[in-house]
């Protein structure tokens, strides 16, 4: 049994969606440095290639697949390419997600925004699992980590109905997958980050008033760093978490534990 001190992904392959920035990029870099052969799946070719280049320059193994996670054929192809490039699939990190302008209250959110968010954040995770699970079974099992959010467990401080609903769906889907495949060597866990200092959130928190409303709910008083979430993903991906499945893995700076936060 692996320990935290011995955490390694040597000999394993990992497919990471949304690996061109933020949590996805930091996780790709960390997994590669831990021995994994990483395939970055990214719609933004420039961002994805930058991650791959960083890995390769550091002596790691990585490849890029350009794909839209909400497209059935593209995700099937992404998994097929991963298996062809690396010889199998042992770690699947369904991380890609969006949080567009216009996602607000139920009465104000346009239908096209709702459908776009659900397509990427929920359907994208479903498609990753749909095609990733058979490849993982062929590889002898593995670990699935799906990015949900603390708002899958708690109501958000600001209106974001499509995002919150999509992440709630990811959480429920992850539990079901964990139960169904537990005896077939596949573990599935939902990573639930609190607010993370990524380009996506920094853009949203550009308004000082919005930022202040968010930070007051975080007992630690700061946003998480993407590297901190990557460490949590590495744990869930590795054999150090061999008896961990079906969890709501909160990495939220204490948000879920707080009733009121001191000023």
Percentage of the chain exceeding pLDDT 70: 95
The string of pLDDT tens digits covering residues 89-139 is 999 999 999 999 999 999 999 999 999 999 999 999 999 999 999 999 999
Residues present in the chain in total: 263
First to last CA, the chain: 44
pLDDT on residue 158: 80
CATH numbers and ranges of domains, the chain: 11-250 (3.40.50.720)
Q: One of 163, 181, 235, 259 is an active-site residue; which one?
A: 163
Q: In b/e form, how buried is each residue of 164-180, taking b as 16+ CB within 10 angstroms?
A: bbbbbbbbebbbebbee
Residue 205, Ramachandran bin (φ over 0: left; ψ between -120 and 50: alpha; else beta): alpha
pLDDT band at 206 (very low <50, low <70, confident <90, very high): confident
- What are the tens digits of pLDDT across the range 21-61? 999 999 999 999 999 999 999 999 999 999 999 999 999 99
Share of the chain above pLDDT 90, in %: 83
For the cut 90, the answer to whether the pLDDT of residue 200 exceeds it is no
| Cα gap 148→34, rounded to integer Å | 24
State how far the Cα of 140 lies from the Cα of 136, in Å rounded to an integer. 6
Q: Annotated catalytic, 181?
A: no
* Residue of 16, 18, 26 lying closest to 197 (CA atoms): 26
Residues 6+ apart with CB under 8 A from 100: 113, 116, 117
- Residue 171's DSSP bridge partners are none
As a whole number of angstroms, the distance between CA 18 and CA 109 comes to 24
């Amino acid at each position: 049994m692996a320990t935290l001190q011995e955490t390694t992904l040597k000999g394993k392959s990992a497919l990471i969606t949304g690996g061109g920035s933020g949590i996805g990029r930091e996780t790709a870099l960390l997994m590669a440095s831990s021995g994994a052969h990483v395939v970055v799946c990214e719609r933004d070719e420039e961002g994805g290639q930058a991650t791959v280049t960083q890995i390769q320059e550091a002596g790691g193994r990585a490849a890029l697949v350009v794909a839209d996670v909400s497209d059935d054929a593209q995700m099937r192809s992404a998994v097929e390419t991963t298996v062809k490039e690396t010889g199998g699939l042992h770690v699947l990190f369904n991380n890609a997600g969006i949080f567009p302008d216009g996602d607000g209250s139920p009465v104000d959110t346009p239908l096209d925004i709702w459908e776009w968010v659900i397509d990427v954040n929920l359907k994208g995770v479903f498609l990753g699992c749909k095609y990733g699970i058979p490849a993982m079974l062929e590889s002898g099992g593995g670990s699935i980590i799906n990015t949900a959010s603390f708002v899958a467990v708690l109501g958000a401080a600001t209106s974001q109905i499509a995002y919150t609903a999509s992440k709630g769906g990811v959480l429920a889907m992850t539990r079901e997958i964990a139960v169904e495949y537990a005896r077939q060597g596949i573990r599935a866990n939902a990573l639930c980050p609190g607010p993370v200092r990524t380009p996506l959130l920094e853009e949203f928190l550009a308004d000082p008033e919005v930022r202040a409303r968010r930070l007051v709910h975080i007992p630690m008083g700061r946003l998480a760093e993407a590297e901190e979430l990557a460490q949590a993903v590495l744990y869930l991906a590795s054999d150090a978490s061999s008896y961990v499945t079906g969890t709501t893995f909160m990495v939220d700076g204490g948000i879920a534990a707080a009733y009121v936060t001191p000023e």
